Chain A
Amino acid sequence: MAKLTIGVFSSLVGSLSLDFAVKLADAAVKKGHSVDFWVSGNATMLSKKEQRAFKDYSALQKTLQELMKTGNFQATACEACAEARGYHKEDTMEGFQRHSMDWYLASGFSADRVLHIGGD
Chain B
Amino acid sequence: MAIKKIAFIVKSLPYKTEASRLALTHAIASQTVEIYLEDGDNVEPVLAFIGDGVLNCLKDQKAMNAYGVTSLEQHLKNSLLLDLKVLICKEDIGKFSLSEDSLIMDAEDIGGETKANIVPFSEIMKEMESANHLMFF
Given A100-B32, A114-B135, A118-B137, are A105 and B18 also a contact pair (CB < 8 Å)? no
Is B36 touching A106 in the complex (CB atoms < 8 A)? yes
Q: Is A23's CB within 8 Å of the partner chain B?
A: no
Query: Which of A41, A102, A119 sits near B36, CB closer than 8 Å?
Result: A102
Q: Is B58's CB within 8 Å of the partner chain A?
A: no
Query: Which of B22, B29, B136 sits near A105, CB closer than 8 Å?
Result: B29
Q: Which residue of A lies closest to B22 (CB)?
A: A41
Q: How far is the CA of A114 from the CA of B6 in the complex (A)?
A: 10
Q: What is the distance, in angstroms, from B7's C-beta to the closest C-beta of chain A?
A: 11
Specify which chain A residues have a CB less than 8 angstroms from the CB of B62 in the assembled complex: none
**Number of residues of chain B lying within 8 A (CB) of chain A:** 25
Q: Is A93's CB within 8 Å of the partner chain B?
A: no
Is A105 touching B19 in the complex (CB atoms < 8 A)? no
Query: Which of A40, A81, A105, A120 sits near B33, CB closer than 8 Å?
Result: A105
Given A7-B135, A118-B19, A118-B136, are A101 and B36 also a contact pair (CB < 8 Å)? no
Specify which chain B residues have a CB less than 8 angstroms from the CB of A73 in the assembled complex: none
User: Between A and B, how many residue pairs show CB distances below 8 Å?
Assistant: 68
Q: Is B43's CB within 8 Å of the partner chain A?
A: yes
Q: Which residue of B lies closest to A80 (CB)?
A: B25
Q: What is the distance, in angstroms, from A102's C-beta to the closest C-beta of chain B?
A: 4
Q: Is B37's CB within 8 Å of the partner chain A?
A: yes
Cβ < 8 Å to A, chain B residues 14-65: 17-19, 22, 25-26, 29-33, 35-37, 41, 43
Q: How far is the CA of A41 from the CA of B33 in the complex (A)?
A: 19
Q: Give the interface centre of A7, A81, A104, A116 by most chain B CB atoms within 10 Å.
A: A116
Q: How far is the CA of A103 from the CA of B30 in the complex (A)?
A: 9
Cβ < 8 Å to B, chain A residues 84-120: 100-106, 108-109, 111, 114, 116, 118-120
Is A9 touching B36 in the complex (CB atoms < 8 A)? no
Q: Which residue of B lies closest to A116 (CB)?
A: B135
Is A101 touching B4 in the complex (CB atoms < 8 A)? no
The 4 nearest A-B residue pairs measured at CB: A106-B36, A101-B29, A114-B133, A116-B135
